[in-house]
Amino acid sequence: MKFDTPAGRNPIDNLNVVGKPVDRIEGPLKVTGTATYAYEQHAAAPNAAYGYVVGAGIAKGRIVSIDVTRARAAPGVLAVVTADNAGKLDKGEFYAARALAGPDIDHYHQAVALVVAETFEQARAAAQLVAVRSERSAGAYDLDAARATARAPKQGAFGPPPETSVGQFAEAFERAPVKLDATFSTPDQAHAMMEPHATIAAWDGDKLTLWTSIQQINWGVRDIAKTLGIRKENVHVVSPYIGGGFGGKGTILSDAVLAALGARHAGRPVKVTLQRTLMFNNVTHRPATIQRIRIGAARDGKIVAIGHESWSGNLAGGRPEAATAATRLLYAGRHRMTRLRLAHLDLPEGSAMRAPGEAPGMMALEIAMDEMAEKLALDPVAFRILNDTQVDPEDPRRPFSQRAFVECLRVGAERFGWRERSNVPAGRREGQWLVGMGVAAAIRGAPVTKSAARVRLDRNGVVTVETDMTDIGTGSYTIIAQTAAEMMGLPLDQVNVRLGDSHFPESSGSGGQWGAASATAGVYAACVKLREAVARKLGFDLADAQFERGQVSQGGRSVPLARAAGEGALVAEDTMEYGELDKRYAQQTFGAQFVEVAVDAATGEIRLRRMLAVCAAGRILNPKTARSQVIGGMTMGAGAALMEELVVDKRHGFFVNHDLAGYEVPVHGDIPHQDVVFLDETDPTIAPLKAKGVGELGISGVAAAIANAVYNATGVRVRDYPITLDKLI
């Protein structure tokens, strides 16, 4: 089915099941420990041996020799895989880094060996006996220093163009009566997901099965086949449950490649999980940025010139952090420019992490907007409203499909009690606490991609949905069940959902907050076909047959849906394909983030007091799972504002704080009550469900709202994240 014109009314609009805040259907499995995560697929691979990864101890150089004699002779050891015996390896398409070093070492903790043994403890003990001799060479580890040699990146499949320009930015900025020219920095950040990367690999002849933790099943199939030089048809990837993935599990990493190699060498299934200490330097992360923002405005507060330059660094073949993405779309202004620069760094690979581009870009842009509002003596909410645009500012012929940004700000200001905010920084004190409020905009793209599903109606009237879509903790199982239930006129408990298996029809996967709108569109398409088949079978005219409460009815005649299955089952499969609606409309999600903080006047300790997000993201398929996504994003934004930072050792080229003791993320005690409001809207240009994603919108703007609240509380403007107390005193 092709989706290329805004859909009219369809069965989804009945909203009997869709749009309801139902509990996650897989929730009980997760909270009782019975959901099988990758490392727990004991039943599927009962005799799996254990693999333990040895990471490189230098950041850049060459392996001179690896002596595995002692490791190989250690108790229980079945195989040791290194570049010497791994055979020729390619690499995947999405991530740039190679899964196994040799002879070159490209980054710290890049895998140099996998030790396979009967037990985990034996593998771990033998791993200490692998003797690696390497030669170190000089590397580039300092983004600020590398800026001098940074270049315009190539246009990639994801992210904005490296450079955009409209009007005469430089001249207009120069002439503007009120202007800001400020530089901001955001640090490297880790995904730090709860479930580390983990895989069990098993070979059956030349066929490989991977039980792994991955967001994009089809990328994983493609990338493992390419890496090992085997046929895609011979790869089976299974990933029904995933303990968090923020872009770091887009496709396969070293655990999957090494498990496959280890299983081949050991002649039996092998399971590998990355130990927590490898979850910072072995894997991908959100790369640091340095961003310069220039805004020029007329005295009335209208922006006339806006420019955003961003520098980031990466390994050869890696992508830039697309921090300019939001600045292209968020505010009006005739003269504009954005510019990305990419430097070579020999740190671990920087890649997609929750709202790549927007998240770090908004950390800078939305502080800059706060600073401009102050220079103009305007309220920060009013300044943003004044500079709203209903068309793409780079291409005024292209309207936003929907843009309720102003309403988000207005609703949020009212609900949060924004008028209580002091206009004067450090103007409100309660005992030892300096209290302040901050606001920031939120914006994130609403992409959709091709997605397929299969639906089967059985003679008990149960519909089973199969698609290789993943549920990374977001609620995919539930919204897919809601979609099928609505389409077929069934209660939720008459729908089974099976996800995360490459034997199922290929879906959008989870990423870029495209999963909810795309995957449900594929299910919609398959259900449309199933409805046709049911109508044919039962002799109804599809045009006005009603599918409700397990019955199909028309003109007084009513037949149980189950009867269409006869003695067997009725199966339908389809793909939702997309045209180029996104060229006619700018399709984005919007929001406003409000935060109140209290800062200890003596110590600089920052406490979050209240947080509010108002979101406009099309139809909300399930307010409960959507809210969970947004508060998760807000929490991650709080981490980005106040604590998260991979500290770079600029001499040796690695992230020093590579465990969860040193890499701080928010805990419950750090997070206050989080209020989330969804505006009531539907966007018919996106998908038949008229919904957009919220998983990445939720983090956008949060850190800047906190930074602005800290400024309002203290009068200290911090432009380098994270905002730790030493920067306040």
By the criterion CB under 6 A, which residues form the site for ligand MOS? 215, 246-247, 352-354, 356, 511-512
For the chain, the C-alpha Rg in angstroms (whole number) is 26
Q: Which is nearer to ligand MOS, 451 or 708 (CB)?
A: 451
Shortest Å distance, C-beta 639 to ligand MOS: 15
Shortest Å distance, C-beta 248 to ligand MOS: 8
- β-pairing verdict for 198-204 and 270-273: antiparallel
One-letter identity of residue 547? F
Q: Which is nearer to ligand MOS, 215 or 507 (CB)?
A: 215
Shortest Å distance, C-beta 158 to ligand MOS: 8
CA atoms within 13 A on the CB side of 130: 28
Distance CA 210, CA 698 (A): 32
Using a 10 angstrom Cβ sphere, with 0-12 exposed, 13-18 middle and 19 or more buried, the burial of residue 612 is: buried
Q: Which is nearer to ligand MOS, 301 or 633 (CB)?
A: 633
Which candidate, 293, 292, 299, 445, places its Cα nearest to that of 386?
299
Shortest Å distance, C-beta 188 to ligand MOS: 15
Q: Which is nearer to ligand MOS, 351 or 708 (CB)?
A: 351
- Cβ-contact 357, 326 below 8 angstroms: yes
In DSSP terms, which residues pair with 80 in a beta bridge?
A: 115
Shortest Å distance, C-beta 367 to ligand MOS: 22
Q: Which is nearer to ligand MOS, 519 or 565 (CB)?
A: 519
Using a 10 angstrom Cβ sphere, with 0-12 exposed, 13-18 middle and 19 or more buried, the burial of residue 46 is: exposed
Shortest Å distance, C-beta 511 to ligand MOS: 3
- Cβ-contact 315, 86 below 8 angstroms: no
Contacts of 702 (CB under 8 A, 6+ apart): 440, 442, 593, 595, 611, 613, 633, 634, 636, 637, 638, 640, 641
Q: Which is nearer to ligand MOS, 139 or 639 (CB)?
A: 639
Map 647-693 to HEC letters.
CEECCCCEECCCCCCCCCCCCHHHCCEEEEEECCCCCCCCCCCCECC
Shortest Å distance, C-beta 215 to ligand MOS: 6
Distance CA 255, CA 276 (A): 12
**Catalytic-role residue among 195, 349, 596, 696:** 696
Shortest Å distance, C-beta 447 to ligand MOS: 9
Q: Which is nearer to ligand MOS, 86 or 353 (CB)?
A: 353
- Cβ-contact 401, 619 below 8 angstroms: no
Is 121 noted as a catalytic residue in this protein?
no
The angle formed by the CA atoms of residues 197, 61 and 250, to the nearest 5 degrees, is 25
Q: Which is nearer to ligand MOS, 251 or 494 (CB)?
A: 251
- β-pairing verdict for 335-344 and 303-314: parallel
Shortest Å distance, C-beta 107 to ligand MOS: 20
Q: Which is nearer to ligand MOS, 475 or 489 (CB)?
A: 475
Q: Which is nearer to ligand MOS, 313 or 511 (CB)?
A: 511
Shortest Å distance, C-beta 245 to ligand MOS: 6
| E runs forming strands in 459-605 | 463-466, 495-498, 546-548, 551-554, 557-560, 569-578, 588-600
Altogether, the residues listed in the chain come to a count of 729
Distance CA 658, CA 556 (A): 67
> What's the count of helices (H) and strands (E) in the chain, helices before strands?
15, 32
The angle formed by the CA atoms of residues 52, 58 and 59, to the nearest 5 degrees, is 105
Q: Which residue is nearest to ligand MOS (CB)?
A: 247
| C-beta atoms surrounding 302 within 10 Å | 16
Secondary structure class of 101 (helix, strand, coil) = coil
With b for 16 or more beta-carbon neighbours within 10 A and e for fewer, the 66-89 pattern comes to bebeebeebebbbbbbbbeebeeb
- Cβ-contact 323, 291 below 8 angstroms: yes
Shortest Å distance, C-beta 145 to ligand MOS: 27
Contacts of 170 (CB under 8 A, 6+ apart): none
Q: Which is nearer to ligand MOS, 436 or 511 (CB)?
A: 511
| Active-site residue list | 696
